[in-house]
Structure 1
């Protein structure tokens, strides 16, 4: 059972949130008092709707208290303040170790509230089915995992916005830990880099993904692209292109099918050491994508030097663009820059039809996100590819 607490000095708004949650089968209580809110908080609380601007104790103060109490509930921030203030509060709360589900800028509609509630439910399912998110694993465990190949690949479909067709998939690695279940990349990629295991891990993922992409394409009835993220450390290795070319030949994969993603932050840190690798990949037809575009610090230099074929807009901008003028402008300008430089633009983190419609109106080519499908195992993707677009959207909405 989902147990929700709402704190807002506007009684009517608190009741609006409570009624919306109850309509979705959730248990919800609302209060206008910080004292009553803290009295009602307990380990069974799963989600909190928190107003930032309140007379008795403001939301910033309450976030600090929640951190001190080691609150594990998801939190939705609400405010009528400038969205940049809400964003600052969100980033600060995450630095405190709190779990922020999202933000709602007042006034908001029932549809926006429902998006937050569904996002919370999806995150809850992910914790249940993938309970090892944000755990600490040992170096010996990771070395053993690479030796024993304890990794699995999940794939997230990429959709051409104009036609609704599936045009590719992104490969995402998970560690199938014998004790903890599925462990997410954030919890082991950094360690793999420190231990010098990242190349071995990268090739495990690539080999398995190449083996799968052919059958995905056959099921879809068209050649699908395969996007895969390689560590900036691997992309400094002059041997990388030849090893990739040999592997593609082994599996009969055309170079243009492969999209190597590298994060913008990784480019900032390792750009000069990777330019020769980028050039050789592009000369053979392999595509390059700048991932999480807009989150780094040297965008113009990267765009001038890297022969990228694709820009990938970070999900944080996509999720904020409907209600935030700054995010909307940044998304729009990123699309324009990408097109003027001859690049395809991909938006990740698409969760609503409204977001998809806005991206389509700005001629963004590709979208991926929970609106279509979460990352799923290969066999589940094969079944998903056999559905028509309407059934896919219905299943995504149901989840």
Structure 2
């Protein structure tokens, strides 16, 4: 305890010494800063004075040149014949390369002759051109050289600083105006040859506040308004203050010093950038700072030993709290607002909409085929797709709209400041069009369209929850109607939503209630008219909802994730029932079982298949796993590994509904496939549709060329069977042979077809 008490005075003394040392350094740095500014100001004062003197001399020289050449031209009779002065002005230009051109004009502003412009070409009137009128008329009132506003001279295609001098008769009346000008970008112009420190700006400014010359030269083209509008009043006031006080002053351009050129109503200014002053100050402070930092480092090292742990703990706590606060309101994957922040913003928007009697819209967006992509390519690609979806939604909506991730592949858009439904239609059309463009992730080009459900306030709900529910109902209808579309909420849409929810609720307990059973459809070898296999088909008879089609309940099972339990049940029961039928009939059958992409992606899929086969006692080569072509397309990275593992187990592999997907032959040839199944949509009307006939014949030939067996689904008549036999299709199934039937009926069927 006493040791701790002894440390407190030492710590206090150290802090006092450290603060005193730092205060001394700060005072020295401030002194050095003002000293640097003073030195820089003296240099600017010198440069500005030199620039003003040089500019005055330059303009005075050219004033004499214009007066001499103007009088010479007048005596040569230029007013009667302008071409009499042609040689004179061309010679003046040749001897003065800094001049952009030379011309002579009447007092009314009409140019008589311009260097470089052949006779006969129309010449402008300087008193009528907007860019030259004011300064030309001003020149007529002066006895000395008048410097006009710099502007783009189209005839010469140059930026010029016009010089105008009235040539007067003995009575003092102007009879001719000598007009010339400096080419602002000419390397021969003395201002462009002056040595200028890096970053400094040289400016010539008129009394009226317009910029006359600037270096570095910045105009980008003929339409640049740099010389047309006056400089900022604050900047001009700073230049006048610099001239009054005889010192450099700070402006937006940096530290500037201005010197007036009264004879020509100009101001010569030099501006040093603040960065350059800072750099010079830093250089002056380099050695003192190094010494300071050495001692400061030693001192802080001692001090930090007593503070580091507390600071690190406090910083970690703050970062953790900030991150938790951010996570509480944002989606960690996409960075978008999450459900919590969305509901807060929606409640605020509803409050403002009620108070101001305005409308707002809610859009619930859902990717149409995200599950296929996520199941096929894996969660990593799925997550990256969601990130791109979030970016694209943000790009396609207005800055005032809120885009939030609601969960999974669902997003919610809060659209405020709308007048009617047409505003929402425009936004929805834009989003749908934007999502028809593919997403590119690594070497995958993914087509992921989107469906939208839209609810409008007031009308479709009064609370955040009811509005989102209405939008969800509309979204369900949009998907039911074909996807890649939007749908506004209407009361009658609730019927479909209720049906979906009923199916989901009933499906969750259907397995426990033993409501599922299997039917089997025989597969016939066409070369010997013999049943050699069966396909297992799942059926559901719900006590509350009745018999439900697989086309209706399978998508719900996939949406809810129940498909894995269903698939596990189907494979176990099908193997058990077919094993019993084989024992009773003495036949050997190949059992075909459909497997979804979600099942394939299960971490224990291979183990479950192996376990079911072993438990049934059947050889693995008499089990055929059917996968759709779409699974192959979406599973480029994992399909070869999974299928090869199944093949090594001895299980046969079949591509179901072949011809409806987009898999390549080169890709298929590298996979251990045993069978191709021609989709029934091609087989059923191949005799009526020549295209389907060609496609079916091609699939059969292609399968045989790859050493695969080909099964035709949906055979319903004798003529179709004849076509298949003619083209050497291996197997067929369909109503022509037998409808799907339960296990007991299959046993009778097989016993009656021995």
> Under a length normalisation based on structure 1, what TM-score does the superposition of the two structures give?
0.61
Show the counterpart of 1:203. 568
Retained in 1: the 8 A contact 2:675–2:709? yes
Retained in 1: the 8 A contact 2:521–2:741? yes
1:348 aligns to 2:709 (yes or no): no
Show the counterpart of 2:525. 160
Q: How does 1:1-399 map to 2 (within 5 A)?
A: 136=500, 137-300=502-665, 302-388=667-753
How many residue pairs match? The answer is 258
Shift of 1:222: 2.0
> Under a length normalisation based on structure 2, what TM-score does the superposition of the two structures give?
0.33
Shift of 1:220: 4.2
Retained in 2: the 8 A contact 1:158–1:168? yes
Looking at both structures, which has the greater relative contact order when contacts are Cα pairs under 8 Å and sequence separation is at least 6? Answer: 1
Retained in 2: the 8 A contact 1:235–1:274? no
Shift of 1:299: 3.7
Radius of gyration: which is bigger? 2
Retained in 1: the 8 A contact 2:669–2:706? no
Shift of 1:263: 1.0
Distance 2:671 2:601 in 1: 14
Distance 1:248 1:280 in 2: 15
The DSSP-based 3-state class of the residue aligned with 2:638 is: helix
The DSSP-based 3-state class of the residue aligned with 1:138 is: helix
The DSSP-based 3-state class of the residue aligned with 1:280 is: helix
Shift of 1:217: 2.1
Q: What runs of 5+ residues in structure 1 fail to find an aligned partner?
A: 1-94, 98-134, 390-399
Shift of 1:253: 1.2
Distance 2:584 2:628 in 1: 30
The DSSP-based 3-state class of the residue aligned with 1:223 is: coil
Distance 2:725 2:585 in 1: 23
Cα RMSD over matched residues? 1.9
Distance 1:382 1:323 in 2: 35
The DSSP-based 3-state class of the residue aligned with 1:233 is: helix
The DSSP-based 3-state class of the residue aligned with 2:580 is: helix
CA shift digits 1:79-106 (9 cap, x unpaired): xxxxxxxxxxxxxxxx989xxxxxxxxx
Shift of 1:298: 2.3
Q: 1:329/1:241 Cα in 2 relative to 1: closer, same or farther (>3 Å)?
A: same
Q: What runs of 5+ residues in structure 2 fail to find an aligned partner?
A: 1-479, 483-498
Shift of 1:239: 1.9
Retained in 2: the 8 A contact 1:238–1:276? no
Distance 2:652 2:639 in 1: 15
The DSSP-based 3-state class of the residue aligned with 1:308 is: coil
CA shift digits 1:37-80 (9 cap, x unpaired): xxxxxxxxxxxxxxxxxxxxxxxxxxxxxxxxxxxxxxxxxxxx
Shift of 1:282: 0.4
Distance 1:271 1:253 in 2: 31
Q: 1:365/1:220 Cα in 2 relative to 1: closer, same or farther (>3 Å)?
A: farther
Distance 1:230 1:271 in 2: 17
Shift of 1:203: 0.7
Distance 2:693 2:566 in 1: 37
Most deviating of 169-178 and 218-227 = 218-227
Show the counterpart of 2:254. none
